[in-house]
Amino acid sequence: MKKKVLLIIALFIASLNLRPAINSIAPLLENITTDLGMSAAVASLLTSIPVLCMGLFSPLAVKASGKWGIERIIGLSLVIIGVGTVIRLFTDSVSLLVTTALIAGIGIALISPLLSGFIKQHFPNNVPSMIAVYTVALTLGAAFSSALSTTLENSFNSWQTSLAFWAIIAFVAAVIWWLFVNLQVKKSAHTASAGTKIQLPWGNGKAWILTLSFGLMAMLFYSITAWLPQIIQGMGYTKNYAAIALTIFVAMQIPVSLALPILLKRFPSRRLWLVVESVIELVGLILLVLNVEPLLASAFIGIGAGGLFSLNLLLPIDATGNAQEAASWSAMTQSVGYVIGASGPVILGWVYDTTNSFASAVVGMVVIVLIMIIVQFAATTKRSVNTLKGIAQDGGNKQSII
């Protein structure tokens, strides 16, 4: 029991580091672009590069974990995130700031798919609950970095120091991971994954559908993360109001992540909740199109985004039978999915540079949600009872998860 508690603590603290390097940028973007003379399209790279890295380097994470073990690579990833973030303290050029986004992005890319494998391996009977721990921690990291970046900038009188501050959490997490995980599961975990040859399911049609679902979700998520404050400021609201809206967008994902495992126990259908969350996100985007109370719109978008992220993390774990398969399917969905997701902020930045308005881009996001709902139906096609056996269980629940 004590060992499980330590693993949960380590999982939580490690997951805190998946978003600060990305989310800390948006609230400071105006000052960063002014100081460094960046265009909107170039500034969007600070969000898009880490997301693109999550696409390009996820397969490498799986191969590395097959050789050295899931736990060791996760620990290394936390150190890489810390290094990429702390270098921002010395940033005085566009090229160096973009380089820090690349380094931190590689670290995030290595850790993201492996956490799914870690959950499958150590908590096979409590997957939805551990996905909740993962996503709540991830969201808290995003919320704190979004909400506190401006405060830290004012306190230190430096956006560089504000961005670099989040390296502290990464290095602390690396130490805790070593103490609570690598030293606790020396034999059982490492021998279970190290030395295993793992292949990504490139030829599996189901995996491609899950990948497209993840990609469309990520495209929306990171577009909103990168540009929501600027979209709202373009509607005539103040910078502080826009920052509050971004915080609400992030904060609303926390109760959703906590509630989802409870809702899945009562109504285990993945399709039901995917569509419900998509419709909620759609309502929020339509409110933005109509220029109706951006704070309310941000809340709806946050509720939808939080549920969709958790559910898309859960789908590859549902579809696989062990930790290595879960990691490989997650790596594939995230590999291609994050490449798709990385295009979102760049496209929005290009639209703004071209039209000096985000109106067309927001309408485009509405269309993407509608396409995503169609893909979700394909991603949750009915499977046989034998395939579902043992997958839909969380505390003994054996209902259909379609």
pLDDT(104) > 90: yes
More confident call, 324 vs 170: 170
User: What integer pLDDT is reported at residue 197 of this predicted model?
Assistant: 62
| Weakest-pLDDT range from 44-48, 280-284, 297-301 | 44-48
Instruction: Compute CA distances 246 → 176, 307, 354, 394, whole Å.
Output: 30, 17, 24, 33
Question: φ and ψ at 200, to 5 degrees?
Answer: -80, 145
Exposure string for 10-22, b = 16+ CB within 10 A, e = fewer = bbbbbbbbbbbbb
> What confidence tier does 383 reach under pLDDT thresholds 50, 70, 90?
low
CB 226 within 8 A of CB 341: no
Residue 321 lies in a domain: yes
Residue 67 lies in a domain: yes
pLDDT(27) > 90: no
Of the candidates 121, 115, 132, the residue with the CA atom closest to the CA atom of residue 177 = 115
Of the candidates 198, 230, 167, 218, the residue with the CA atom closest to the CA atom of residue 17 = 167
Boundaries of domain holding 376: 2-388
User: What integer pLDDT is reported at residue 396 of this predicted model?
Assistant: 38
Residue 397 lies in a domain: no
> What confidence tier does 247 reach under pLDDT thresholds 50, 70, 90?
confident
Mean confidence (pLDDT) of the chain: 86
Instruction: Compute CA distances 322 → 20, 123, 237, 358, whole Å.
Output: 30, 11, 49, 44
How many percent of the chain have pLDDT more than 70?
A: 91
Residue 402 lies in a domain: no
Instruction: Compute CA distances 236 → 32, 40, 93, 365, whole Å.
Output: 21, 18, 31, 21
Of the candidates 47, 4, 5, the residue with the CA atom closest to the CA atom of residue 25 = 47
Q: Could you give the number of structural domains in the chain?
A: 1
Of the candidates 17, 222, 25, the residue with the CA atom closest to the CA atom of residue 134 = 17
Segment holding 198, helix H or strand E: none
Q: What is the CATH number of the domain that holds 274?
A: 1.20.1250.20
Query: What gap in Å lies between CA 124 and CA 118, rounded to an integer?
Result: 10
- State pLDDT tens for residues 343-372: 888 888 888 788 887 888 898 899 999 999
Question: φ and ψ at 194, to 5 degrees?
Answer: -65, 140
> What confidence tier does 195 reach under pLDDT thresholds 50, 70, 90?
low
- Model-level pTM? 0.77
Residue 203 lies in a domain: yes
> To the nearest 10°, the Cα dihedral for 367, 373, 378, 379?
110
Query: What gap in Å lies between CA 78 and CA 169, rounded to an integer?
Result: 9
Residue 27 lies in a domain: yes
Query: What gap in Å lies between CA 327 and CA 330, rounded to an integer?
Result: 5
Query: Which one-letter amino acid corresponds to residue 99?
Result: T
* Owner of token pair 């603590």: 9
> What confidence tier does 272 reach under pLDDT thresholds 50, 70, 90?
very high
CB 16 within 8 A of CB 140: yes
Residue 356 lies in a domain: yes
Residue 400 lies in a domain: no
Of the candidates 101, 280, 79, the residue with the CA atom closest to the CA atom of residue 170 = 79
342 secondary structure, DSSP code: H
* Owner of token pair 């774990």: 317
